[in-house]
A and B are shown apart, each in its own frame.
Chain A
Amino acid sequence: MTSGRPQRERVVLAHRRGARIVRTRAEVQEQTQVGDAFVRGLVRAQLGLALRLAAVVVSSVAVVPLLIGLFPEVAAVKVFGIRLNWLLLAALVYPVMYGVGRLYVRLAEQSERDFVRVVDGEP
């Protein structure tokens, strides 16, 4: 760091299972080129996942004003006595957002598990 005094840092130890130190894990920790390639792969996978899911949400949300702009009569459709434009924006978008979020958490953790498995050399 460029500020005068060195930063105090607290080091967190790994939750190591057994004392076996695997070569690949050491490569990630020591920033060898092989290790960096693994990290790049992980970052790319996570970013791709996030962008794809964001695109899903944005396009499903953008459909609402587009649809209403092109076909104003759609907004006048009533479901259970509530107009469609209100029903979509006041209620139905929320479960969609939760669903996408949940899917993201599952897939992101999955790819982290895969990463750890590869790095730790476990089958």
Chain B
Amino acid sequence: MTGAPLTAAALLAAAAATIAIGFYGIRLSRNTSDFLVASRSIGPQWNAAAVSGEYLSAASFLGVAGLIAKYGADALWYPVGFTAGYLGLLLFVAAPLRRSGAYTVPDFAEFRLASARLRKVAMLVVVVICVFYLVPQYQGAGLALKTLLGLPVWVGPVAVGTIVIVNVVGGGMRSITFVQAFQYWLKLTAIAVPALALLTVFLRDGTDLAGPLPPTVHQQTTVTVETDVVVQVAEPAGITVVGSVDGHRVDGAPFRAPGRYSLQKGTTLTLAAGSATPVVAGAPSAGDDWIASGGGLGGDHPSYQVLSIIVATFLGTMGLPHVLVRFYTNPDGRAARRTALAVIVLLSLFYLFPTLLGVFARQFVPQLLITGTADAAVLLLPSAAIGGIGGAGLAALVAAGAIAAFLATSSGLLVSIAGALSTDVLRGRVRDFRVAALVGGMVPIPLALLASSLELSRSVGLAFAVAASTLCPLLVLGIWWRGLTSVGAACGLAVGGVSSGVATTLAITGGVDERLLGGWPAVVVGYPAAVTVPLAFLTMVVVSRFTASTRPPDVARIFAQMHVPERLGMGVERVPRGG
């Protein structure tokens, strides 16, 4: 590994810059309002960069390209949905949420429905969503440090956890606004420069990725299987195996014929230059299947999968606590709308590049398809396709971007966890915020090491499904429907949260047998949103209708406050009790 010192230096530089900019912000952070909502003083441009910097997580930086390399056209729905979520947020949530004057999502729940009990339920949901979202970030960090520097898997989660805790404990929201805005531009550079460099290589000696065969390796490649895997071999010529195939010991022999083989941990495949790559079972093998839409992302019922991804990502952003909390830092509702619109631009620009890299990964590092760990594609591409000092430099840049992705998203999530816990469980002082941040940052570390890792984008997609089934209906109905009651909201949160939470837990701990009942249980557990989101909306509406007598009496005042422009002087800013 020639570029390792360079990569390590880039990782350290990105981490050091993060901490340094964080410390600059700490000098400006004094009271609880600074810590929670940066005293509501961040304008649309800084805020949009910070929102995007925070939002582009491991799932976007590494995961999207990996999924596209592996599954092809249908994986494009993830970046589309991740961006469309902000359109949903802009249309239905941004301005009224900001005008409510709340400082966290649970605070909004109490503001709207005057129920301290509902506030506690919402707090619990916020913490669950953030933890589900933090786990893949930590896992991504583990994967990146292992791929780039050969470090043990636990180093990444521990390192990222420590840096994030230090930053959040130090300066809260004020401090991370600058950090996140910086990280958007770092991530954009770190993904755009390698993508454009690879584009020139691809245009020069790329081949057509369509066709009846899987992609071929360009030089002799050796791949060691690290967890048991079933592969689809389309063309056995040129492949030699050492290890265990279908339970039999094989020593330097080729596969007998095209077909499915299960490889045990420790098996080594050697692919001669020009031989077709075996592809992990479930992913499309032939180039033609990969390039066509409608194949889904492995497993049965591809159309349902796509529908569910669309529901989860289009609606999930509206319920992500760490994104919503950034909207409270806008000075007014108008700025909140402009922030959301600017975020759409910044994300559209960013997602062009992971898409390109996903295509290039199939061309230049097809061996990743064997083990299915396509999340490493972005990290390995530059040195594989360009090589030499240029490749090493680009690899170091990508590594810096990746670490920025883990750090930015994790700090945002941790601020949300700490904000919810400190104001609703503890007494809302600055010290409570720090204690909550310390605990909230450490809990996901063991979870990240224990959970079986789905692809990063899929794990994050599941966190979106939970958000879309809980906080999204609470906010949308709370903002637009006067009939919502606190009992209805709490029941909806419980039904949506439990159903999507159970599905997510099952999916990340191993899923459900695909042969059961025509594959429906497996696909619903893997992609729950299309079922759980309508269920949550329905529960909130039906229960609210039955408990209509408990509507808050001053709902007219609350609606006026959320929807009337600030100029009329209806605005009331809520501040935490201890602040």
Contact = CB atoms under 8 A, between A and B. Distances in A.
Interface of A: 1-3, 5, 7-16, 25, 28-29, 31, 35-36, 39-40, 42-43, 46-47, 50, 53-54, 57, 61, 64-65, 68-69, 72, 75, 83, 85-86, 89-91, 93-95, 97-98, 100-102, 104-105, 108-109, 112, 115-116, 119
Nearest to B337: A105
A116 B564 CA distance: 8
B73 A7 contact: no
A13 B569 contact: yes
A47 B572 contact: no
Given A14-B568, A86-B73, A7 B556 contact: no
B573 interface: yes
Interface stretch (B54-62, B341-349, B409-417, B487-495): B341-349
Given A7-B577, A10-B573, A69-B294, A1 B351 contact: no
A12 B571 contact: yes
Given A1-B114, A43-B559, A83-B291, A9 B572 contact: yes
Given A7-B577, A39-B559, A89-B80, A61 B568 contact: no
A61 B556 contact: no
B352 A25 contact: no
Nearest to A40: B559
Interface stretch (B18-26, B90-98, B140-148, B151-159): B90-98
6 A-B pairs with least C-beta separation: A14-B569, A94-B348, A89-B76, A50-B91, A12-B571, A10-B573
Interface string B111-125: 000111001000000
A119 B565 CA distance: 11
Contacts of B73: 75, 85-86, 89
Contact of B83 (A14, A16, A97, A105): A97
Chain B contact residues, majority secondary structure: helix
Contact of B556 (A36, A72, A75, A100): A36
B84 A75 contact: no
Contacts of B572: 9-12
B341 A105 contact: yes
Given A1-B110, A2-B114, A53 B91 contact: yes
Nearest to A3: B116
A68 B77 CA distance: 14
Contacts of B79: 90
Nearest to B562: A43
B367 to A, nearest CB: 23
Nearest to B111: A1
B457 to A, nearest CB: 15
B564 A115 contact: yes
Nearest to B77: A89
A77 B560 CA distance: 52
Interface in B379-410: none
Contact of B480 (A15, A31, A43, A109): A43
B564 A28 contact: yes
B340 A101 contact: yes
28 contacts: A1-B116, A2-B116, A5-B577, A7-B575, A8-B579, A9-B101, A9-B573, A10-B574, A14-B567, A25-B568, A28-B564, A28-B568, A31-B560, A43-B480, A50-B92, A53-B91, A61-B84, A75-B292, A85-B73, A86-B291, A89-B80, A94-B351, A97-B84, A97-B87, A98-B348, A104-B91, A115-B565, A116-B567
Nearest to A101: B341
Contacts, number: 156
Given A2-B114, A42-B563, A116-B565, 9 more contacts: A9-B575, A10-B572, A15-B567, A39-B564, A65-B303, A98-B341, A98-B348, A101-B90, A101-B340
B566 interface: yes
Given A25-B568, A46-B563, A31 B87 contact: no
A31 B294 CA distance: 53
Contacts of B83: 94, 97
Contacts of B344: 94, 97-98, 101
B270 interface: no
A59 to B, nearest CB: 13
A12 B569 contact: yes
A93 B77 CA distance: 11
From B91, B95, B355, B563, residue with most partner A Cβ within 10 Å = B91
A31 to B, nearest CB: 5
A13 B566 CA distance: 9
Nearest to A44: B480
A64 B74 CA distance: 11
Contacts of B557: 31
Nearest to A86: B73
Contacts of A109: 334, 337
Interface string B299-313: 000010010001000
Contacts of B373: none
A75 B570 CA distance: 52
A1 B112 CA distance: 10
A7 B337 CA distance: 27
A116 B570 CA distance: 12
A31 B563 contact: no
B338 A105 contact: yes
Given A36-B556, A72-B292, A105-B90, A42 B564 contact: yes
